[in-house]
Amino acid sequence: MTEPGPTGTFGNMAFSHDIVHQIGGQSDTNKNTTQRILLLLESTPIGERREAYDRVIRAVIDRYLDEDTHPLNRDSKIRRATEYPDSF
């Protein structure tokens, strides 16, 4: 079997702290961005207990939505996804 990639982006453990808290800015690396997007789009929890997995997914989505500065989000008539707790 071949290795998943020479840079360590794939096939290595990723830690949720960096994935959640290093969004954008100088501290967000290509590796971190790639791991975050793969987590959101292609990951699945391992085992029956999925609390930690769900918590990290929610934290990443919340970080994106909380920092969203789109003008429509300022209108009180527009409901954001975080206002629907069971929608994910």
DSSP character at residue 70: -
- Mind listing the pLDDT tens digit for each residue in 42-62? 999 999 999 999 999 999 999
DSSP character at residue 72: G
Alpha helix segments (H runs only) across 11-88: 16-21, 30-42, 51-66
The overall pTM is greater than 0.85: no
Q: Which residues of the chain have pLDDT under 70?
A: 1, 68-88
Pull the structure tokens for residue 33.
Answer: 């961005």
In 10 A of CB 4, how many CB atoms? Answer: 11
